[in-house]
Amino acid sequence: MRINESTVIAAPAELVWEHILEPDNYLHFMSGVTRWDVDGEVRSGLGARYRMLLRVGSAEIGGLIEVVEEIPERDLAWTSVTGIDQRGRWRLRPRREGVTDVEFRFSYGVAGAGLGGWLAEHVAAPTVSSRIRESLTGLKQLVEQERRRRDSEPHSVTRA
Asked if 125 is part of the footprint of other proteins (rule: CB under 8 A), the reply reads no
Mark out the alpha helices in 24-113 (DSSP H runs): 26-29
Asked if 3 is part of the footprint of other proteins (rule: CB under 8 A), the reply reads no
Identity of the residue, 58 or 156, whose beta carbon is nearer to other proteins in the bound complex: 58
Minimum CB separation of residue 52 from other proteins in Å reads 11
Q: Which of residues 52-71 bind other proteins (CB under 8 A)?
A: 53, 56-64
How far apart CA 22 and CA 36 sit, in angstroms, is: 11
How far apart CA 90 and CA 71 sit, in angstroms, is: 10
Tell me if 47 sits within 8 A of 141, measured CB to CB.
Answer: no
Q: DSSP secondary-structure letter at 68?
A: E
Tell me if 5 sits within 8 A of 128, measured CB to CB.
Answer: no
Mark out the alpha helices in the chain (DSSP H runs): 13-21, 26-29, 114-159
Number of residues that bind other proteins (CB under 8 A): 24
Asked if 138 is part of the footprint of other proteins (rule: CB under 8 A), the reply reads no
Identity of the residue, 124 or 143, whose beta carbon is nearer to other proteins in the bound complex: 124
Q: Which of residues 26-55 bind other proteins (CB under 8 A)?
A: 53
Asked if 113 is part of the footprint of other proteins (rule: CB under 8 A), the reply reads yes
Identity of the residue, 54 or 102, whose beta carbon is nearer to other proteins in the bound complex: 54
Minimum CB separation of residue 99 from other proteins in Å reads 38
| Residue 149 Cα distances to 104, 141, 156, angstroms | 25, 12, 10
Q: Which residues pair with 75 in a beta bridge?
A: 71, 91
> What residues line the site for other proteins (CB under 8 A)?
53, 56-64, 82-84, 110, 112-114, 116-117, 119-121, 123-124
